[in-house]
Amino acid sequence: MFKKKLYQTAIELTNKKWSSQLLKSVVHSKISKQFISSYINIYEIDTKEVSKNITSFPSLEQFFTRELKNDARPIDGRLDVMTSPADSKIESFGAISQDTVISVKGQEYKLQDLLGKDDHAKKYQNGKYIVFYLSPADYHRVHSPVDAQIGRQYILGNNSYPVNQMGLKYGKKPISGNYRMISELQLSNGDQAAFIKVGAMFVNTIQLTNTSNEWSKGEDIAHFSFGSTVVMLFEEHSIEFLQNVQQGYHIQVGEAFCNML
């Protein structure tokens, strides 16, 4: 309990509007370009996958939201599977309870808090969920996991708490408190899924690259600035996780993670 309180106090003292603005101004500045090489070395980023020459990026932020070469992430084209929306670590997955609660790193989250309304949450009673965590080392563009029509799409939350391992364990429920964008996916088989993009510490930036009401499997739909999280919710009896879905497993864009039932 003491460790949790100490962590939360430290975050509250540093996670302010001024610190967010300072970080944004630094990473968008021309000066930040000189840090790109160090960033690559620290996080061991494979630059052979990047779509253009490293020296052409004008700032650290532009490198962070980089595009990859077209063949860097093959998309599993099977119609009955969903594919990972991001290069990420599977932080948590499992069943949604009858009272629409999920558990992530020992913290319980009510879906009505995450989605904003009770009737939105009830659709996922006894369903399944999965949490994808994108670290600063990961490629930070988000891709559609499936062909889908977009129903409601809305934004909730104002906080920008960390969504890393410590943040999820000791933070003030960042998944349901942080700035987040919720997209309701209408699938071709009649099922529905919730696709939730959660902002991270200091920088609440979720930039859409597809603003239409239709997503195609594997297409680039958005990008984050710095570490972030994607949460997906599924209706009861709509999907079945594949064997590669294990806590801590690092999955890549285009890799199948569930069968559609």
Report the distance separating Cα 134 and Cα 179, nearest Å. Answer: 16
Tokens matching residue 48: 């052979």
Query: Is residue 87 annotated as part of the catalytic site, yes or no?
Result: yes
Query: Is residue 183 annotated as part of the catalytic site, yes or no?
Result: no
Which one of 143, 160, 176, 225 is the catalytic residue? Answer: 143
The total number of residues written for the chain in this structure? 261
Which residue in the block uniquely carries the two structure tokens 């987040």?
180
Written as one letter, the residue type at 52 is K
Query: Is residue 228 annotated as part of the catalytic site, yes or no?
Result: yes
Which one of 32, 59, 84, 87 is the catalytic residue? Answer: 87
- Contact criterion met (CB below 8 Å) for 30 and 59: yes
Tokens matching residue 11: 């975050």
User: Could you count the other beta carbons within 10 Å of the beta carbon of residue 253?
Assistant: 24
- Contact criterion met (CB below 8 Å) for 157 and 175: no
Tokens matching residue 168: 């999820």
Q: Which residues are catalytically annotated? A: 87, 143, 228
